[in-house]
Amino acid sequence: MSKPAPLKTGWLLCQAQVLSSLNIADTAAARRRGLMGQSEIETPLLIDSCKWIHTFGVKCSLDVAYLDAQLQVIKIQTIKPRRVALPVFAASHVLEAGAGTFENWGLVIGHTLETRLT
């Protein structure tokens, strides 16, 4: 069995401030894999071309932000393990982080995020 390709990495910014390092799932395989198997989320994951997520195989609660095509936050929720979220049809991307992360960042609906690849 081959090793999965490494994720793209970068920085996540909001209002000209760096929030965190970032992993980016921009391939079908990376989107399917997501955060499965992780019990602690050290680096948030941005999933491109995504309108909904599930937390099967994830061992901790997640903060989930649904983003439109311009990376503006349109919905935020915390999801426990082994759950399926309802689709957010206006979303183009989903940002996943450990539960409590968004509160620590002060992230709210209406903020526009930016990514910078490393």
- Encode 2-36 in three state secondary structure: CCCCCCEEEEEEECCEEEEEEEEECCHHHHHHCCC
Would you say residue 34 has pLDDT above 90?
Answer: no
- Residue 3 belongs to some domain of the structure: no
**40 lies in some domain:** yes
Contacts of 104-107 with C-beta under 8 Å, sequence gap 24+, read 105/14, 105/19, 105/20, 107/14, 107/19, 107/65, 107/73, 107/76
Domain span at residue 12 reads 8-117
Mean pLDDT of the chain: 93
Number of domains the chain is built from: 1
In a domain, residue 1? The reply is: no
- Predicted pLDDT of residue 54: 92
- Output the six-digit token pair for 44: 């948030």
The pTM is what?
0.93
pLDDT tens digit string along 50-93?
Answer: 999 999 989 999 999 999 999 999 999 999 999 999 999 999 99
Residue 2 in domain: no
Instruction: Note the pLDDT of residue 1.
Output: 55
Within a domain: residue 87?
yes
CATH of the domain at 72: 2.60.120.1140
pLDDT band at residue 7 under the 50/70/90 scheme: confident
